[in-house]
Structure 1
Amino acid sequence: MTRLSVNINKIATLRNSRGGNNPNVVNVALDCERFGAQGITVHPRPDERHIRYQDVLDLKKVVTTEFNIEGNPDARFIELVTRVRPEQVTLVPDAVDAITSNAGWDTLTHRAHLTDLVKRFKDLGIRVSIFVDADERMVEGAKEVGTDRIELYTEPYATHYAEDRAAAVAPFVKAAQVANKLGLGLNAGHDLSLENLRYFQQAIPGLLEVSIGHALISDALYFGLENTIQLYLKQLEE
Structure 2
Amino acid sequence: MKMERRKKIVYQLDTPYSAVSWPSVTIDDQETILELLCNLLTPLGQYRSEYVKLSKGKRDKKRKRKVPTTCSGDILPPPSPELKSYVDVGLTTVTRHLQELACKAQAVETNSDDKLPTQDVSRRPYSAIFVARSGQPNVLNGHLPQMAAVASKSHPEQTPIRLVGLSKSCEDRLSESLGIPRVSCIGIREGAPDSKALIEFTAKHVPPINIPWMEEAKKAEYKATNINTIETFVGTKKQHNRGLPGQ
With normalisation by structure 2, the TM-score equals 0.26
Higher relative contact order (CA 8 A, sep 6+): 2
With normalisation by structure 1, the TM-score equals 0.26
